Amino acid sequence: MSTIRFKAIKKTFERKPLAIESTAKRSEMFGNNVFNEMVMRQVMSKEAFNSVISAIEGGERIDRKLADEIAAAMKNWAISKGATHYTHWFQPLTGATAEKHDAFFEPISNSHAVEKFGGDQLVQQEPDASSFPHGGIRNTFEARGYTAWDPTSPAFVYGTTLCIPTVFVSYTGEALDNKAPLLRALQAIDQAATEVARYFDKSVTKVNATLGWEQEYFLIDKALAYSRPDIVLAGRTLLGHSPAKGQQLDDHYFGSIPDRVLSFMRDLENDCVKLGIPVKTRHNEVAPNQFELAPLFEEANLAVDHNSLLMDLMDKTADKHNFKVLFHEKPFSGINGSGKHNNWSLATNNGTNLLSPGSTPTKNLQFLTFFINTIKAVHDYEELVRASVASATNDHRLGANEAPPAIVSVFIGSQLTKVLDELEDVSKGKLSPQEKTDLKLNVVGKIPEILLDNTDRNRTSSFAFTGNKFELRAVGSKSNCAKPMTVLNTIVAKQLKEFKKEVDSLIDKKNLKKDEAIFNVLREYIKASKKIRFEGDGYSEAWEKEALKRGLSNNKTTPQALKVSVSKKTLDLYEEMGVMNATEIKARHEIELEEYVHKVQIEGRVLGDIARNHVIPTAIRYQNALIENVKGLKEVFGSEFKKLAPEQLDLIEEISNHISEINSKVRFMTEERKKANKLEKAQLKAEAYCQKVLPHFEAIRYHCDKLELLVDDNIWPLTKYRELLFTR
């Protein structure tokens, strides 16, 4: 009997939901562990408080003396919440979060100690970060990097540690993390969108990008997950035959949540609420053991931090409940994968959602302006949007008949399509009084009404307008949202800047009224960006062909998709918008390619190991049992034995065939890996892994999965799909 597998199953059967003590009301717990505005007002002087607020709102520097006061207030508050340590919390390019804890405690003599935390420690730290990916930046320049406080994301107490959100940059100022470029992109969109919003409302002084992510994940019993080397090392199953029952009955989606899972969710949500993550919805997803969690939307930088924090919290809480969370985009073949939809919009300091149609023609022209500019931006930089969600793991999900394809397209619904069609016919130059009235009454004036019944939301689109926001559906469940958010906000910022220039020029040089100028520019954008709009079935083959005809990119693999991130057009874009310089961009590209290689390399090694050391020996064991059986029959029945053992004889042969196929394919794969490893250039190496190594996985898996069906269940060493997916 295969011990680990059966022990794990037994353990799983014995599990009981953990009791979650009923705590205070969520509204009372909300933000209890966050050093937010309300707390700051209470624990620091007006001067210090105001300086933090102007740092948050206007990016102003905080005076060193005030920093000391803020640090002292933060420390006392954190200690009152049970903190003993503090850390600069940051998001290196590994995609995870990083922290190095320092104690507040500091001995000042043999018999005396104090709790110390000053402005210096708050504002800047120098972690020994030489092992974080830097794509050569810290080799070429200065060896060190430092973390710097990001006051726009509030500090929080997590366990017994005060966590201070920070950016991570090299001494020469290059970003070494995901947050620094995001903050710069958010600054760019603030500037560009504010200027455009002021065409419609002079009181606008700031525009924030908003993000509401939806996190999908699988929850597998810990013992079962740890019984599979592929899940442990690669985060996904590299083999395993699909079970008789998968998701075809659709009986999991929105079904009742299993008790143990519910207990995990309640525990997790309590912690989220205390940390200020406004979790709102939870439900089962389509696949068995797949779930989703979504918060209310927030300012994008905060939302990104909250998503990173959530993923960490999920890992820890799951462990406590004897589960393992799988964030991988495709942990099981033949079953839906996981994504992280990014709902995105723009909000003014007055609380206006710029992508929400309003009650007056002016508000609607404002809506159309931001709406059409976003479409134009995605049209111009579709390939960069695709690159922003590229990873070895997401490659398995995009285009897998359940998730958007690798083609980026925009869905807006039939009603808004009609509006854009009408705007396309607006006259060039000055508009007649009749045309103006007509536009006001019949086109722009009607938007709120038509949106109400705009219910045909297309689930197959990668970038869909959903009433008052756009939803980027191609983001992987494992990704840090900072990457797609950096790209989206940068390209829209660039587009809005362009728009402002064009409108102003029509007003100044052609003497058009503001509205006329806006209509004129929008008309041209609608025409120019048509090919990105698609209302049909994004999962269909017909769309792939159509997209090709339209000249849209369809980069199915990461090495292909990432190429555009270092194109001249991209370098110019980032440079112009002040988001990243060439060094930063190239370093990132290198890191992403390396990460791709490492991921596929690890999977190849794990698969080779499982196939050779787990599957083949088991198959031989079973084959030997069959041979013994046939020998016995021969002994008893003599030459008649063949008539009595046709199945056994076939099986013996079949098993041998599969074994030899596995052996030769593992050998080919290993050869290809060796060749790929010799390549120097990151791009070529990644391509070799993608085109030469990866394709062997399927073939090896095929024969292993066949053996799973043939070999005695009692000795099969790997926990099977039905056990992973249906035991809880």
| Minimum CB distance to Mg ion smaller for 2 or for 290 | 290
Residues 465-524 that bind ligand ADP (CB under 6 A): 466, 468-469
Q: Which is nearer to ligand ADP, 1 or 296 (CB)?
A: 296
**CB atoms inside a 10 Å sphere around CB 651:** 18
Separation CA 611–CA 595 (nearest Å)? 24
Residue 178's identity, in one-letter code, is N
Span between the terminal Cα atoms of the chain, in Å: 22
Which partner in Mg ion, ligand ADP, none is near 145 (CB below 5 to 8 A by kind)? none
469 binds Mg ion (CB under 5 A): no
* CA distances to 63, 173, 238, 297, 690 from 89, in Å: 22, 18, 33, 22, 34
Long-range own/partner contacts, residues 375-378 (CB < 8 A, 24 or more apart)? 375/410, 375/412, 375/525, 375/529, 375/532, 375/533, 376/495, 376/525, 376/528, 376/529, 377/488, 377/491, 377/492, 377/494, 377/495, 378/408, 378/410, 378/463, 378/491, 378/529, 378/532
- Name the minimum Å distance from CB 722 to ligand ADP: 28
Binding track over 191-230 against Mg ion, x by CB under 5 A? -----------------------x----------------
The residue among 147 and 210 lying less far from Mg ion, judged by its C-beta, is 210
Q: By CB under 5 A, which span of 55-63, 269-277, 338-346, 520-528 interacts with Mg ion?
A: 338-346
* CA angle at 232 for the pair 341 and 263, rounded to the nearest 5°: 60
State in angstroms the smallest separation of the CB of 255 from ligand ADP. 16
Q: Does 458 bind ligand ADP (CB under 6 A)?
A: no
Q: State which residue, 285 or 515, has the beta carbon closest to ligand ADP.
A: 285
Residue 414 beta carbon to ligand ADP: minimum distance, rounded to whole angstroms: 19
**CA–CA–CA angle 25, 29, 35 (5° rounding):** 170
Say how far apart CA 95 and CA 178 lie, in whole Å: 8
- Determine how β-strand 410-411 pairs with β-strand 463-465: parallel
Residue nearest to ligand ADP (CB): 212
Which amino acid does the sequence have at 297? F
For residue 533, the cross-strand partners are 410
Among residues 345, 369, 495, 648, the one that binds ligand ADP under rule CB under 6 A? 345
Q: Which residues contact 441 (CB under 8 A, 6 or more apart)?
A: none
Q: Is 129 in the site for ligand ADP (CB under 6 A)?
A: no
Distance CA(603)–CA(693), nearest Å, equals 10
Q: Is 343 in the site for ligand ADP (CB under 6 A)?
A: yes
- Does 296 bind ligand ADP (CB under 6 A)? Our answer is yes
Q: Which residue, 169 or 464, has its beta carbon nearer to ligand ADP?
A: 464
Q: What are phi and psi of 432, to 5 degrees?
A: -75, 155
Q: Which is nearer to ligand ADP, 71 or 464 (CB)?
A: 464
Question: Which of 35, 297, 499, 519 lies at the binding interface for ligand ADP (CB under 6 A)?
Answer: 297
Minimum distance from CB of 342 to ligand ADP (Å)?
Answer: 8
Rounded to a whole number of angstroms, the minimum distance from the CB of residue 343 to ligand ADP is 3
Q: Which stretch binds ligand ADP (CB under 6 A): 70-78, 341-349, 570-578, 667-675?
A: 341-349
Q: Taking CB under 6 A as the criterion, which residues in 350-389 touch ligand ADP?
A: 353
Least distance (Å) between residue 474 CB and Mg ion = 12
- The listed partner (ligand ADP, Mg ion, none) that binds 270, CB under 5 to 8 Å by sort, is none
The answer to the question of residue 341 lying near ligand ADP (CB under 6 A) is yes
Q: What is the DSSP string of 478-507?
A: TS-THHHHHHHHHHHHHHHHHHHHHHHHHH
Question: Which partner from the list ligand ADP, Mg ion, none does 124 bind, CB cut-off 5 to 8 Å by kind?
Answer: none
The CB-of-103 to ligand ADP minimum distance in angstroms stands at 38
Please report how close the Cβ of residue 374 comes to ligand ADP at its closest, in angstroms. Answer: 12
Q: Single out the residue of 174, 169, 184, 177 nearest to residue 579, CA to CA.
A: 184
For ligand ADP, the closer of residues 296 and 441 by Cβ is 296
**Distance between CA atoms of residues 275 and 82, nearest Å:** 14
**Cβ atoms of 219 and 322 closer than 8 Å:** no
Site string for ligand ADP, 171-210 (x = CB under 6 A): ---------------------------------------x
The partner in contact with residue 345, picked from Mg ion, ligand ADP, none with C-beta cut-offs of 5 to 8 angstroms by kind, is: ligand ADP
281-283-286-292 Cα dihedral, nearest 10 degrees: 50
What binding mask, one character per residue, do residues 426-445 give for Mg ion by CB under 5 A, x or -? Answer: --------------------
Q: Structure tokens of 620?
A: 């031989």
Q: Is 118 helix (H, G, I), strand (E, B) or coil?
A: coil
User: Binding Mg ion by CB under 5 A: which of 236, 330, 341, 599?
Assistant: 341
- State the CB neighbour count (10 A cutoff) for residue 19: 8
CB atoms within 10 A of CB 173: 12
Interaction partner, residue 684 (ligand ADP, Mg ion, none; CB < 5-8 Å by kind): none
Q: How far is the CB of 338 from ligand ADP (least distance, A)?
A: 13
Residue 214 lies near ligand ADP (rule: CB under 6 A) = yes
- Find the shortest distance in angstroms from Cβ 326 to ligand ADP: 20
Residues in binding contact with Mg ion, number by CB under 5 A:
2
Name the minimum Å distance from CB 250 to Mg ion: 18
The span from the CA of 596 to the CA of 607, in Å, is 17
CB nearer to ligand ADP: pick between 354 and 431: 354
Say if residues 75 and 35 touch (Cβ distance below 8 Å): no
Residues in contact with 249: Cβ distance below 8 Å, sequence separation at least 6, in sequence order = none
Q: What is the residue-wise DSSP string for 398-436?
A: TTSSSS--SS--EE--HHHHHHHHHHTTPPSSSPPHHHH
Length of the chain: 728
Q: Which residues contact ligand ADP by CB under 6 A?
A: 210-212, 214, 294, 296-297, 341, 343-345, 353, 466, 468-469
Q: Which residues contact Mg ion by CB under 5 A?
A: 214, 341
